[in-house]
């Protein structure tokens, strides 16, 4: 029964039984341009579905090409290391505070007239 479907698929696509995958793709594209419902109208929907089934049946008989087969890269998990130490929040706060206060302090530059003390 399967050989009859494949024979019908050859007839639907208009290719010879010994056609290569590129011949099948080329014939499918050529006919799809004519039968696509967006181009030829909704009355060709069933014929386009038949064309899709014929293409799928014929392409299933060919081995997949290396381009079609995508193998996911599997990376090895990193080896477990020592447990991480919790962050030292006090040290981080002191570092932040000292950096912030240094950036906010006025510069002691006598040439600019800006000193460290403020007078109102």
Q: Which helix (H) or strand (E) holds 51?
A: helix 45-59
**93 inside domain:** no
**111 inside domain:** no
Range 109-117 average pLDDT: 54
**109 inside domain:** no
User: What's the longest Cα–Cα distance across the chain?
Assistant: 102
pLDDT at 16: 92
Task: State the DSSP code for 72.
Answer: P
Alpha-carbon distance 21 to 62, whole Å?
7
**16 inside domain:** yes
Instruction: Give pLDDT tens digits for 33-91.
Output: 999 988 888 998 999 999 999 999 999 988 877 776 677 777 877 777 777 776 666 66
pLDDT at 1: 39
Mean pLDDT of the residues in the chain: 78
Alpha-carbon distance 107 to 114, whole Å?
7
CATH number of the domain where residue 33 is located:
1.10.287.110
Alpha-carbon distance 6 to 62, whole Å?
12
Domain that holds residue 41: 2-59
**120 inside domain:** no
**100 inside domain:** no
Provide the domain count of the chain.
Answer: 1
The candidate with the shortest Cα–Cα distance to 14, out of 50, 60, 41, 44, is 50
């Amino acid at each position: 029964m399967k050989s009859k479907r494949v024979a019908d698929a050859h007839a639907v696509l208009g290719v010879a039984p010994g056609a290569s995958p590129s011949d099948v793709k080329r014939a499918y594209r050529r006919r799809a341009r004519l039968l696509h419902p967006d181009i030829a109208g909704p009355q060709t929907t069933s014929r386009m579905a038949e064309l899709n089934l014929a293409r799928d049946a014929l392409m299933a008989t060919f081995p997949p090409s290396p381009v079609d087969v995508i193998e996911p890269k599997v990376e090895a998990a990193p080896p477990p290391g020592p447990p991480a130490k919790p962050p030292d929040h006090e040290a981080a706060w002191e570092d932040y505070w000292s950096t912030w206060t240094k950036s906010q302090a006025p510069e002691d530059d006598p040439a600019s007239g800006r000193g460290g003390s403020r007078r109102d």
